[in-house]
Amino acid sequence: MNPKDGAARGIKDGDIVRAFNDRAQVLFAAYCNERIIPGTVAAPDGALYDPVDPGNPNSLDKGGAINTLAPARFQSKNVSGEVWSAYLVEVEKWVGPVPQSVSEKRGYH
Q: Report which of residues 47 and 5 the model is more confident about.
A: 5
Average pLDDT over residues 14-18: 96
State the architecture of 3-102 in CATH terms: Beta Barrel (2.40)
What percentage of the chain exceeds 70 in pLDDT?
91
Residue 109: band (very low, low, confident or very high) from pLDDT cuts 50, 70, 90: low
pLDDT at 105: 87
What does the pLDDT look like over 49-96, one tens digit per residue? 899 998 888 899 998 888 888 877 777 777 776 666 678 999 999 999
pLDDT at 102: 86
Burial 32-54 (b: 16+ CB within 10 A, else e): beeebeeeebebeeebebbbbee
pTM given for the model: 0.85
Rg (CA), the chain: 15
Q: What average pLDDT does range 10-25 have in this prediction?
A: 95
Domains in the chain: boundaries:
3-102
